[in-house]
Amino acid sequence: MEVEKINDRSIYVFVATVFLILWQFLYSAEAAEVDAVSQPALVVLIDDVGDNLIKGRAAVELPGPVTYAVLPHSPHGGALARLAVQGGKEVMLHAPMENTHDRPLGPGALTRKLTRAEFVRVLQDDLDTVPGVLGLNNHMGSLLTRLRPQMEWVMEVAKERQLFFVDSRTTPESVAWRVAREQGIPYLRRDIFLDHEATTAFVDQQFQKAIAIARKEGAAVAIGHPYPVTVAYLKTALPKLDEMGIRLVTASALIEEKAVERQLQEYYERQKQRAMQFSSVSPCEPSESCSPLN
């Protein structure tokens, strides 16, 4: 009898302990999640992947959720894109767009000379050469991204193939991100280029600026290239982000977070307006005597 009682009691104690441990575990997991999302986020996007296999492979092997923009019809773009996807990275098309300096664009270029049908066909073909493509950004494009009709054609294709768009902002006059917003295409804008001067000191300076932007704005988008100096720098710098309180995220992850944030903001805005409407309703008609007893 006594033994049975002890057994009953120990079962209660056991169940209560398990419950407590589970509760604490769930609570701390939730707290950690909230904490993680409130940390500043950084997107590191490596452009111009595809022409060089060795440099491209070194870039694709960078640690963490880095995003890669692959040149269409490039000799190693397909293989590098596959390698990136296999390594859990994110892949985009780096769509070559006409620039103001007449710099050569390589195959699959989008220019203002193309008719709408030609333009769409070139872009569709470009996308088909990049396996696992989730989004696109502009390679060069200081001329084309100023042109609204052509950017509308880009966004039409993006909508059809459910892709996001990153405006590399190679000119301050780019309308690309605006057109993306108008057309309801998920988009980001480049905040900083990491390596237009290919030295460690310069890359470091730009990377620190990117972190400062992320801390100030909540997120930053940094674009680099598969230059040995950039890749060597990022190989050391990326693993240190966590202890600096910065989250490295893919472009699509940041877009998703921003969308959730926007929905929440809209929700709170609607609630605020409702509350204001409610508080502005007069408690009684002007004709009535408005005593508290009515």
Show the binding pattern over residues 124-143: x = contacts Zn ion (CB under 5 A), - = does not: ---------------x----
Q: How far is the CB of 193 from Zn ion (least distance, A)?
A: 10
Q: How far apart are CA 159 and CA 140, in angstroms?
A: 22
Interaction of residue 190 with Zn ion, rule CB under 5 A = no
The torsion angle over the Cα atoms of residues 129, 62, 238 and 188, rounded to 10 degrees, is 0
Q: How far is the CB of 275 from Zn ion (least distance, A)?
A: 48
| Stretch of 45-53, 186-194, 206-214, 284-292 lying at the interface with Zn ion (CB under 5 A) | 45-53
Residue among 95 and 114 whose Cβ is closer to Zn ion:
95
Both tokens of residue 28? Answer: 């701390």
User: Contacts with Zn ion: how many residues (CB under 5 A)?
Assistant: 3
Choose which of 40, 45, 46, 47 interacts with Zn ion (CB under 5 A): 47
Task: Report DSSP state, residue 71.
Answer: P
Choose which of 40, 43, 44, 48 interacts with Zn ion (CB under 5 A): 48
Interaction of residue 55 with Zn ion, rule CB under 5 A = no
Residue among 40 and 164 whose Cβ is closer to Zn ion:
164
CB-based contact 79:170 (threshold 8 Å): no
| Stretch of 42-50, 122-130, 213-221, 276-284 lying at the interface with Zn ion (CB under 5 A) | 42-50
Strand (E) or helix (H) holding 223: strand 219-224
CB-based contact 65:90 (threshold 8 Å): yes
Interaction of residue 247 with Zn ion, rule CB under 5 A = no
Identity of residue 28:
S
Kind of pairing, strands 67-70 and 247-248? unpaired
Question: Which residue bears the tokens 């007069």?
Answer: 282
Binding site for Zn ion (CB under 5 A): 47-48, 139
